[in-house]
């Protein structure tokens, strides 16, 4: 399911216009992004938690020249940890 399909499904389930559901979905994505960018965490009990994780700098291999080593810089990456209810729903 892509973003447009999710917005359509939300519109039908909530009985609102597709435009309103797109606005809600965009607001959700923006709020989650802004929160984890600032170092916070968004927890949806039963569903999961969105956060940012710091990945350390490391030495890698240049794929175009495998004998050459390259330095990969440290970077923040998004992280999602599934909640218990979501995990349990997938088990059955």
The answer to whether residue 22 sits within a structural domain is yes
Q: Which residues pair with 30 in a beta bridge?
A: none
Q: Which residues pair with 52 in a beta bridge?
A: 78
- What is the number of domains present in the chain? 1
The answer to whether residue 48 sits within a structural domain is yes
CATH number, domain with residue 26: 4.10.520.10
Domain range spanning residue 10? 3-86
The answer to whether residue 91 sits within a structural domain is no
The answer to whether residue 51 sits within a structural domain is yes
Distance, CA of 16 to CA of 13 (rounded, Å): 8
Give residue 20's pLDDT. 95
Give residue 92's pLDDT. 75
Distance, CA of 8 to CA of 22 (rounded, Å): 8
Counting as low any pLDDT under 70, the low residues of the chain are: none
Judged on CB neighbours under 10 Å (0-12, 13-18, 19+), 1 is: exposed
Give residue 79's pLDDT. 96
């Amino acid at each position: 399911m892509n973003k447009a399909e999710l917005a359509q499904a939300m519109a039908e389930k909530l009985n609102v216009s597709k435009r309103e559901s797109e606005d809600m979905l965009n607001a959700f994505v923006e709020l989650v992004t802004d929160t984890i960018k600032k170092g916070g965490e968004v927890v949806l009990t039963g569903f999961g938690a969105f956060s940012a994780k710091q990945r350390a700098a490391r030495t890698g291999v240049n794929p175009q020249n495998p004998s050459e080593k390259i330095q990969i810089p440290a970077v923040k990456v998004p992280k999602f940890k599934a909640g218990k209810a979501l995990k349990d729903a997938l088990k059955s």
